[in-house]
Chain A
Amino acid sequence: MEKKRGADIVVDVLLHEGVDTIFGLPGGAIMEVYDALFDAPFKNVLTRHEQAACHMADGYARATGKVGVVIATSGPGATNLVTGLATAYMDSIPLVAITGQVPRHYIGTDAFQEADVIGITRPITKHNFLVTDIKDLPLILRQAFYIARTGRPGPVLVDIPKDITQQVSEYYIPSDEEVKESLPGYNPHVEGNPVQIKKAAELIRKATRPVLYVGGGAILADAAEEVTKLARLTKIPVTTTNMGKGAFPETDPLSLHMLGMHGTYYANMAVYHSDLLIAVGARFDDRVTGKISEFAPEAKIIHIDIDPASISKTITVDVPIVGDVKNVLQKLIKELEEKPVEWVAARENWLKQIQEWKEKHPLSYRKSDKIIKPQYVIEEIYNITNGDAIISAGVGQHQMWAAMFYKYSYPRQFLNSGGLGTMGFGFPAAVGAKIGRPDKTVFAIEGDGSFIMNVQDLATAVQYRVPVKIAIINNGFLGMVRQWQQFFYDSRYASVCLSVQPDFVKLAESFGAVGLRATKPSEVKEVLAKAMEINDRPVLIDFVVDREENVLPMVPAGKSYREMILTPKQKGEAETMYLVG
């Protein structure tokens, strides 16, 4: 058998797993691995913060469908990964995090840069490992990749003591079979139960007011094609969560766009009035359901998900189907194709009703030629990129506008922290996405608050010549919090005014990126056109927008869809904003 240093074994397994890019930042406990990476034939991206490295690996994974890899040193390096891991965990993103640990004989002694990383990351990883014997190293690393990408995907962390990375040992790379056999308790369900699939088909045939409710699971399972096929075959309108965006083209007449707290009026009304809800890789998050007792009150519910624990967690379902979404949908489609589709006629009324809602209550905002409306910026980004860019967002109002006013037509096109809601995610994720998909234009739509949370990594984007475009929706506020304060706290704007801001243009320039600014609506197209021409480095555009614009519609937290807040125009009337219902 071959003999190698632990650090070289790490590199060997990464190569075996097909890794082509890693993100990270070195330090004492992981130096051996970095030394081995020096000669490794893959892209090694040095970030300026481990949180950003983790988001980059995450963005890379979201955009490409591959497993993202992030490396950090022990102690502070590893603890800086926490927010990134939790973000990936909540959105089921496949990541492998490799962290250095103090040498084995120092573990537990409060050694320099020691932290109980296994303990800290246990609840925010799908699984984690501390390597205690170099003999286990190749198997553990392979298990990590296998666990990260199979079943319901998620981040896996491998903590490697420094002395193990230095130790030389005989080793071999375990086969796929060995990896599977070494995890006897881990058997993700792939095939859905055929009886349940038949039952689902029967419900679909009978339904007169069905809605497809599609979540991120459909994207992760690469099931966009099947979702689209099912919807068109059965003429069922489709609404997606923000994680599900792109699983069904939003340009299709059957698209209802997003549902939930900031969902469209017509998506929420369709769900509210539906008699059958087909949940596909979605988990009935509270931002989607609002008040549980009034969520789709008349609907039978079919729930297709790879994770049994997601089923009937918050909403009791009628037909649970545990399995790989793609696999189950293929069977369901086959089942439906076998019997003629005469039932479609019965749905004419339903589709007509939805059409009426769409026409009467469109997604809209009050336009202005004096002040830049954030929604207008998103619309123009959509126009200039022909709807083909990958969009990554921070968290806040800008994220919701990016979800509402850009129409997504393919999977892995909209990247955002749906589950954890992590400010600081958007820009580094965009860098990771652009590295993974250099063929695509990648736009980070950022808030002035969110962007600042990982601004340091502009340096990384410049250093590696990653030509991402950053659009800052600069309202001088932690806007989403301000909106809640306006609506629910009597406009008491406590700690939301970002009264000191950097000059974003100069900031970009100081890093060696390009900085642009628009302060008037007439300048928006122009700066975007300029930004599109720059392809050798990042370009940041500071859009100085209307400070107190709100994201509407909005279903207040814990309320029912009936209590949606709309703008006058969305309400179909000309008066001031008020509550429906």
Chain B
Amino acid sequence: MSEIKVIKERPQPEKKIGRHVITVKVQHNFGVLARITGLFAGRGYNIESLTVGRTHEPHIARITIVVEGDERVIEQIIKQLRKLIETLRVRDITDIPHIERELALIKIHTENDRTRDEIMRLVNIFRAKVVDVSTDTYTVEITGDEDKIEAFISLIKPFGIKEMARTGTLAMVRESATSKILPGERFD
């Protein structure tokens, strides 16, 4: 046996970068969000969006995280999230039929009656809602998945966006599509 020849290279997994939607249920304790964001920052993972809120169970909060990364990174993110003591459940629901929603508030410049009409037309088509009016602005509320909101923004942009706030994505699995055991399940 030759002692120094290169045999071959250890096969490396290919890096398929993808957008993943991860939902996390955590105990709603002091500092739990800092723990989660700290985990991302400390390990150099990029968060696209992160939303948190209580659930119907008062001690449990639900987090939706959207991340970009290759499979190894996503796997590490999920494992590291599961490692946190306060984590109850982590699921990557990317490949499971699910609902995604985001809420955006957009303050749009309205120059004259014509632009007001134009904006109203778009608002109706997108089933958005005008929630505040001033002499030269409309503030519009719109919900939908990321694509819908992006599309709306791109159409509205030429009018002039004065201010905008987005919640980030919320996601939930479609119950109608979940009879089988799901990948990424841990409990129950």
Interface residues in chain A, defined as those with a beta carbon under 8 Å from any beta carbon in chain B:
118-119, 122-123, 126-127, 130, 132, 147, 183-186, 269, 272-273, 292-298, 307-309, 312-313, 315-316, 353, 357, 562, 580-581
Contact = CB atoms under 8 A, between A and B. Distances in A.
A1 B90 CA distance: 39
B85 A293 contact: no
Contacts of B147: none
B162 interface: no
Interface of B: 1, 3-4, 6-13, 26-27, 30-31, 34-35, 38-39, 42, 72, 75-76, 79-80, 82-89
B6 A294 contact: yes
A315 B79 contact: no
Contacts of A184: 27, 88
B76 A313 contact: yes
Contacts of A581: 4
Contact of A293 (B9, B31, B35, B80): B9
A122 B34 contact: yes
Contact of A127 (B9, B72, B80, B85): B85
A119 B37 CA distance: 12
Nearest to A292: B10
Nearest to A308: B79
A309 B34 contact: no
Contact of B85 (A123, A186, A272): A186
Given A293-B12, A309-B80, A562 B26 contact: no
B72 A185 contact: no
Given A185-B26, A186-B85, A296-B10, 14 more contacts: A122-B31, A123-B38, A126-B85, A184-B27, A184-B88, A269-B3, A292-B12, A293-B9, A293-B12, A309-B76, A312-B72, A313-B76, A316-B12, A580-B3
Contacts of B12: 292-293, 316
B10 A309 contact: no
13 contacts: A123-B38, A127-B85, A147-B85, A183-B85, A185-B84, A272-B7, A292-B12, A295-B10, A296-B10, A312-B72, A357-B3, A562-B6, A580-B3
Contacts of A315: 10
A279 to B, nearest CB: 14
B7 A297 contact: yes
B10 A562 contact: no
A356 to B, nearest CB: 9
Contact of B83 (A123, A296, A307): A307
A581 B6 CA distance: 9
A562 B4 contact: yes
B85 A185 contact: yes
Contacts of B80: 309
Contact of B31 (A118, A186, A316): A118
